[in-house]
Structure 1
């Protein structure tokens, strides 16, 4: 029998009452951003052409001073809603992670039943569609990135799996307090980005300030922690989203009585793009 999936936070929208305090935890800096769960209100939802019965929160998009490599949507698709033509950008690759509800995802004519914990990777230039089923909305994360082809390296195949069927790989010397659910092997250079799930047991930590080339998007699925973002220690909880630019220092102390878990995006396995002298003016 399959293990019962862990709980995943999913926003439900709504609007705070007029009596609510405006003070929140939202932060936007040149090194990182924090979009707390309280920002996921009805008035900041978006809609997409080609999708029916669907609204979404856009929590990352490429723009000056923010995300450079990816976009991330928190999707809510009503029963019977969905799309036969989800994205006109044929060069984009896609990751989908379900937090609530049911849907049928069809990739190249093959249908897959998606539920909480279901994960899919869809390569670029791949025909796919998605329609919600069941009696309640289907809620999931949808991440998009322009795939970076590499000479002599084939495009990876599609992946559909449930995270409960993927073992957590615990970091060495952590007493199984810090680990990652990896859907792709780190050395598989066909992939130019990873979307994984990171788990900390209560009291687990990142014991040093990670400072590296990878851009990150972190959506907290469960629990709470204090997270180091650049020079700031920030309290975060389920439903919060963090963006970290390349080389932004990060560390973590997991707190509370349950596991602290987040969906993690990072760009990997490609050369850093170089700019010629023309980008900065002629050299003297």
Structure 2
């Protein structure tokens, strides 16, 4: 399994600036080629670290979450990674070695390693390896619900978690790190897999907001009324109710990290 990550660097001066990035009121596409060195951010409380912040709460853009691609140099990391005590996190390691400590327990994560970090947890990240640590980080403020406990932190991996194949097909499935019936969770960060030729056979339209980071493979993706070609390292944001569908292309699996907000009543104010 491979896990794409921003390429960094900077194109040669001979490269045309005409690109394929799209930003609309219904969706956005940020191709991997836009995620270069000059658009990274440094983060307070982190050492030897840079981040591509590819989604953030913004009027007319993401409303419920922020999403980062984070690169940590050997020896770098943070003892205080999260500035918001109400925030929860989903982490997916793309490459390198992560020493992740949650509430006093340290875990060794490699490519495909996944962690859910509950709000209010005491956690830290360190790169003990000799190569850069690269990981994806999704942040969302947890929304408590009456009579429902706070979720627990846990660590697992893509490799340890089975794919749940959709009804009537063995070409489209979801790696679910959280039981969909567990109402403690108000967000899911799953990996969706399409084998070659697999597809979403209808245009989904639903209340959940999405962030999709392509980890592997290629596809044609329907976003509102437009079909776009996407591949490794591309990011898509879809607002609530934006129609979407997918047709995998190429001869390898098409896989993406999917964020969605779930299991809560919609707020009744803007």
Q: Hey, what does 1:29 align to over in structure 2?
A: 24
Q: Hey, what does 2:119 align to over in structure 1?
A: 124
Give TM-score, length-normalised by structure 2: 0.99
**What is the alpha-carbon distance in structure 2 between the residues aligned to residue 12 and residue 115 of structure 1?**
19
**What is the alpha-carbon distance in structure 2 between the residues aligned to residue 12 and residue 77 of structure 1?**
14
Deviation at 1:12, TM superposition (A): 3.2
Q: Hey, what does 2:105 align to over in structure 1?
A: 110
Structure 1 residues 247 and 60, CA gap change in structure 2 (3 angstroms): same
C-alpha offsets along residues 105-144 of structure 1, whole Å, 9 cap, x if unaligned?
0000000001100000000011000001211100000110
C-alpha offsets along residues 132-161 of structure 1, whole Å, 9 cap, x if unaligned?
121110000011001000000000101100
1:66 aligns with 2:76: no
C-alpha offsets along residues 12-36 of structure 1, whole Å, 9 cap, x if unaligned?
3100010001121100000000000
Q: Secondary structure at the match of 2:146?
A: coil
Q: Hey, what does 2:132 align to over in structure 1?
A: 137
1:161 aligns with 2:125: no
**What is the alpha-carbon distance in structure 1 between the residues aligned to residue 226 and residue 125 of structure 2?**
40
Q: Which runs of 5+ in 1 are unaligned?
A: 1-5, 280-284
Structure 2 residue corresponding to 1:197, chosen from 191, 195, 200: 191
Structure 1 residue corresponding to 2:167, chosen from 153, 172, 175: 172
C-alpha offsets along residues 29-56 of structure 1, whole Å, 9 cap, x if unaligned?
0000000000011110001010000001
**What is the alpha-carbon distance in structure 1 between the residues aligned to residue 5 and residue 238 of structure 2?**
21
Deviation at 1:91, TM superposition (A): 0.5
Matches within 5 A, 1:27-66: 27-66=22-61
| Structure 1 stretches of at least 4 aligned residues deviating more than 4 Å after TM superposition | none
C-alpha offsets along residues 196-230 of structure 1, whole Å, 9 cap, x if unaligned?
00000000000000000000000000000000000
**What is the alpha-carbon distance in structure 2 between the residues aligned to residue 203 and residue 118 of structure 1?**
27
Give TM-score, length-normalised by structure 1: 0.94
Q: Secondary structure at the match of 1:173?
A: coil
Q: Hey, what does 1:249 align to over in structure 2?
A: 243
Q: What do you get for the CA RMSD once the two structures are aligned? A: 0.7
Q: Secondary structure at the match of 2:13?
A: coil
Deviation at 1:57, TM superposition (A): 0.2
Q: Secondary structure at the match of 1:208?
A: coil
**What is the alpha-carbon distance in structure 2 between the residues aligned to residue 93 and residue 51 of structure 1?**
18
Structure 1 or 2, whichever has the larger Rg, is 1
Q: Secondary structure at the match of 1:253?
A: strand
**What is the alpha-carbon distance in structure 2 between the residues aligned to residue 87 and residue 46 of structure 1?**
15
Q: Which runs of 5+ in 2 are unaligned?
A: none
**What is the alpha-carbon distance in structure 1 between the residues aligned to residue 180 and residue 16 of structure 2?**
44
